Structure 1
Amino acid sequence: MQEALTPELARRCGNEECDIDLATVPGLKDSERYCSNPCRRRQYTLNRRRAAEKLTSKLCGGCKEVLPIEKFKQPWRHYCASCARVDGKKYYTKDRSYAACLKRNYGMTLEEYDERLEAQGGRCAICRDEPTKKRLHVDHNHQTGLIRDLLCEWCNHAIGKAREDPARLRAMAEYLERHQPTAE
């Protein structure tokens, strides 16, 4: 018969900022030291930061020069500040950034967004205005996460301010019609 582990013998997550007992994590192998990948990455970063605190100079992975640690904006990273800036500009584009945002927030690709935009004729699904300077907003149901259509900023905010309640929106329309100035 196997005895239960005492609190002193319980295996804890290897991330010092996490206090999860590994025995409580379902599907974890006995050889694993962390409760999750974010905990593993966080501890790795902490270890790199501690090691970097002791350095006075370091080899940059970009320019391959040994530089004083002050040249590294984040000394635990592999690139000096100037190489990181150049690499970031090469990698970053507005479309790539927006595509990542669409994927993260709505599970949608940029191609799917463009298809929806084309299907709507490049206009807001409610007021039919063309976007002035920004892209159309992805309207979605906050309870289910289902994407509805693409809306201009004003229509999207109006629905949000009305708490996605059709009755409230109807009441707002009736209110505006009641208080419409009459032409005399």
Structure 2
Amino acid sequence: MQEALIPELTKRCGNPECGAELTGGSRTLYCSVPCRTRAGHIRRREEASKLTRKVCPGCQEDKPIDQYTNPWVHYCRLCANARERARYVAKGGSDYAYAQSLKYNYGLTMEEYLTRVEEQSGRCAVCGEESDRRLHVDHNHRTGAVRDLLCEWCNHAIGKARDDPARLRAMADYLERHSEAALPDQGNGPAA
């Protein structure tokens, strides 16, 4: 019974998400550097969530907090979008983004892609048509190996067939079977 009256003398970590027992000296507030950093983030977010207005460093305007993506970002939505757009253009715009996509998704550099376009004379490897848009990189979905460059339609057709040659052959047979079938009698023929 006497134990219940004695207050707890152990100190706990100042990070509300941690609460670990502290083993350091009397001036220790956190159990580790990551806990101190995390507690700072939590404190700043709590302070920011109480704000109703703040000044955007981009346009220097005092704006309501609902014009920001969240309370702890510095720039209002308009300025943040303008900054992102400027960064996108400065890096090369859609060409840069496409080059990054090629590298990330297929392991191709833009030079390798352009070499393949030249080798195929800018034509689809399946239908042979010239495309007014960028050719799509066709790849094996199981192995990730790049096959050839295709027009949008052929690439989608192969994708919809789930890269299954048997399914594509069955589709071709189906189309041939139904293209040869006679149209049903519309009642416009000679009377018997």
TM-score, normalised with respect to structure 1: 0.61
Residues 24-173 of structure 1 correspond to what in structure 2 (within 5 A)? 49-63=45-59, 65=60, 67-70=62-65, 71-92=67-88, 93-132=93-132, 134-173=133-172
Shift of 1:109: 3.1
Shift of 1:46: 7.1
2:128 counterpart SS class: coil
Shift of 1:76: 2.1
Shift of 1:113: 2.3
Q: Distance in 2 between matches of 1:112 and 1:44?
A: 47
Shift of 1:48: 5.9
Distance 1:91 1:156, change over 3 A: same
Q: What amino acid does structure 1 have at the position aligned with 2:63?
A: P
Are the aligned partners of 1:59 and 1:67 in contact in 2 as well (CA < 8 Å)? yes
Distance 1:144 1:97, change over 3 A: same
Shift of 1:83: 1.8
Q: Distance in 2 between matches of 1:46 and 1:168?
A: 55
Q: How many residues align?
A: 147
Are the aligned partners of 1:49 and 1:76 in contact in 2 as well (CA < 8 Å)? yes
Q: What amino acid does structure 1 have at the position aligned with 2:83?
A: D
Q: Distance in 2 between matches of 1:45 and 1:101?
A: 33
Shift of 1:144: 0.8
Distance 1:120 1:49, change over 3 A: farther
Q: Distance in 1 between matches of 2:144 and 2:150?
A: 16
Q: Distance in 1 between matches of 2:99 and 2:40?
A: 28
Q: Distance in 2 between matches of 1:163 and 1:151?
A: 15
Q: Distance in 2 between matches of 1:142 and 1:49?
A: 43
Could you tell me which runs of 5 or more consecutive residues in structure 1 were left unpaired when the two chains were aligned: 1-13, 17-30, 35-39
Are the aligned partners of 2:137 and 2:149 in contact in 1 as well (CA < 8 Å)? yes
Distance 1:85 1:150, change over 3 A: same
Shift of 1:142: 0.7
Q: Distance in 2 between matches of 1:119 and 1:159?
A: 21
Q: Hey, what does 1:26 align to over in structure 2?
A: none
RMSD: 3.5
Distance 1:111 1:179, change over 3 A: same
Q: Distance in 2 between matches of 1:158 and 1:150?
A: 14
> Which structure's CA Rg is the greater one?
2
